[in-house]
Structure 1
Amino acid sequence: MTEPTNNQLKPMPEDWTRALAVVAHPDDLEYGCSAAIASWTDGGREIAYVLATRGEAGIDTMEPAKCGPLREQEQRASAAVVGVTEVEFLDHKDGVVEYGTALRRDIAAAIRRHRPELVITLNHRDTWGGVAWNTPDHVAVGRATLDAAGDAGNRWIFPEPGLEPWNGVRWVAVAGSSTPTHAVDATPGMERAVLSLLEHRTYIEVLTDEDPETYVRSFLTGYAQTTGERFGGKPAVAFELFSR
């Protein structure tokens, strides 16, 4: 007889002070992570964002030269809603981000600059739960972030003048994983998560004909409630946590 599996999610570790979130595009963090980030910044933790691209190829009706600056502006406003003031862009090209040493080097340098204990990224696997195909940018950035967490601590990999190695990353937390292990109560940060995603209004308005606030609130609360079924019934944000 097979033993029953305990599929309840564990609480995320709390013994850390600095985190770095590394994703591919503006709005990647807002589709699910912001409620957790709002709660963390409320508790006095420092969180910075690093984005590989400016999302300039994300709106079909808007030329990249106009789209990129607009989406950067929306991202900075979105981050501020949840208490994040440091937002960096690595200026890789949207839609054609390549996994490799150049991307690993840029992310490792960001980790050395910010010296986080927790690194956050987005689903690096081929699909979203085996249902929808993931984008190459997400796969490349997520995978490179997992690798760069180790690269950053090795002084002989990507040495750069003025940047000391940082071997202090204790965990990498992957949002949007189909195999999450841990979660954060979404309740305290949910309203700010909704407002944070709404800052990406230009992008949202080309995604749906629905009222933006109705769309955003339904998406975020629905996700949190489903996750909460594995977290004691509390709405939650889930992560797959890799220890280092």
Structure 2
Amino acid sequence: MAEQLAPMPGDWRRALAVVAHPDDLEYGCAAAVATWTGEGREVTYLLATRGEAGIDTLEPAQAGPVREREQRASAAVVGVTSVEFLDHADGVIEYGTALRRDLTAAIRRHRPELVITLNFDDTWDGTVWNTPDHRAVGRATLDAAGDAGNRWIFRDTDAEPWDGVRWVAVAGTDSPTHAVDVTDGLEAGVRSLIEHRAYIEALTDEDPETYARTFVEDTVRQAAKHFNGDPAVTFRLYPR
């Protein structure tokens, strides 16, 4: 019997999802977001970049607006109406106080109980090297969750300190601790990834709908064996 994961906490109302690029949340995590918004919870997306360096066939000045439009459409599919961009440079995000301040300001402004981010480990599956942007944003998000409650750090943000973050949940990690049943959000999660059509068409010759459905459904099925057989999205949960 495969080791079973604990269910994600359910006693929260507001979440802030913080990632580096458009499409980061759609590779699996969006099905969880759809499940949560379907239950009446509020989820906001915060992206460090507009993904302008993510399409090899488009110059950044062209790619950025395309990817922003795709991200907003993608978010709408899973019930997210608030999507913000910080305009850090795609591909060269620097971990440091400037990034931490921007994320801290957003956490204080949105006042989430749950903060979500993406795998910031060195690798995916132990062999595929992770990108510097993912590593920088993920680590800075964990730090900002604490910074947000400290009134003596980043004192120039518009919003008052917020010490109400109860958990940071990291999606896409090789060492998850928790999961959420996404039976109700799975189809929306697939459609959410399909909205990144320009990105997918530049990435693969496979039909975007086939590509998106295969990726998302395979991911949640793999997780199911660790969550009572239910299609699931997994997280490494850091309580605060």
Q: TM-score, normalised by structure 1?
A: 0.97
- The aligned runs of 1:145-224 (5 Å cut-off) are 145-160=141-156, 162-224=158-220
Distance (whole Å) between structure 2 residues aligned to residue 129 and residue 240 of structure 1: 14
SS in 1 for 2:67: helix
Pick from 36, 52, 61 the counterpart of residue 48 of structure 2: 52
Pick from 24, 30, 36 the counterpart of residue 40 of structure 1: 36
Distance (whole Å) between structure 2 residues aligned to residue 114 and residue 141 of structure 1: 18
Displacement after TM superposition at 1:6 (Å)? 7.4
Letter in 1 for 2:24: D
Per-residue displacement from partner, 1:60-85 (whole Å, max 9, x unpaired)? 11010010011001000000000000
Per-residue displacement from partner, 1:85-125 (whole Å, max 9, x unpaired)? 00000000000001000000000000000000000000011
Displacement after TM superposition at 1:131 (Å)? 1.8
SS in 2 for 1:241: strand
Q: Which residue of 2 aligns with 1:63?
A: 59
Unaligned runs of 5+ in 2: none
Is 1:78 matched up with 2:94?
no
Evaluate the alpha carbon distance shift between residue 72 and residue 150 of structure 1 in structure 2; reply closer, same or farther with a 3 A threshold: same
Q: Which residue of 2 aligns with 1:136?
A: 132
Contact 2:49 2:88 in 1 (8 A): yes
Is 1:229 matched up with 2:225?
yes
CA RMSD of aligned residues (A): 1.0
Is 1:11 matched up with 2:7?
yes
Percent identity, aligned pairs only?
72
Distance (whole Å) between structure 1 residues aligned to residue 70 and residue 2 of structure 2: 40
Distance (whole Å) between structure 2 residues aligned to residue 29 and residue 161 of structure 1: 26
Unaligned runs of 5+ in 1: none
Per-residue displacement from partner, 1:11-69 (whole Å, max 9, x unpaired)? 00000000000000000000011111001001110110000000000011101001001
Count of residues in Structure 1 that have an aligned counterpart in Structure 2? 240
Distance (whole Å) between structure 2 residues aligned to residue 111 and residue 191 of structure 1: 29
Distance (whole Å) between structure 2 residues aligned to residue 194 and residue 97 of structure 1: 28
Distance (whole Å) between structure 2 residues aligned to residue 126 and residue 161 of structure 1: 31
Distance (whole Å) between structure 2 residues aligned to residue 6 and residue 79 of structure 1: 33
Distance (whole Å) between structure 2 residues aligned to residue 68 and residue 161 of structure 1: 27
Letter in 2 for 1:216: A
